[in-house]
Amino acid sequence: RLSEEALGRALASCVAYAKVVVEPSGAAALAAALEGALPATAKRVGVILSGGNVSTARLADLLARHPPHAVPPPG
């Protein structure tokens, strides 16, 4: 199970590094990868980002709590 914080960090990572806005649940696969929740034997991982159904107010709140410049790059 991924925390709301993990989803927020993944969303901020999408904004910072891919220049893509997704809804928090649409970044769940990326959050799992960033949080180390995938099998350790996985050498290559593909993730699907989806959804843009996030209000501007919610997006602003998430980015205020997880500023893109403060999110470390993936990998």
16-75 per-position pLDDT tens digit: 999 999 998 999 999 999 998 988 888 888 999 998 889 999 999 999 999 988 888 876
Q: What is the pLDDT of residue 19?
A: 92
In this prediction the pTM is 0.83
Q: Measuring CA to CA, which residue among 71, 23, 15 is closest to residue 51?
A: 23
Q: What is the CA radius of gyration of the chain?
A: 12
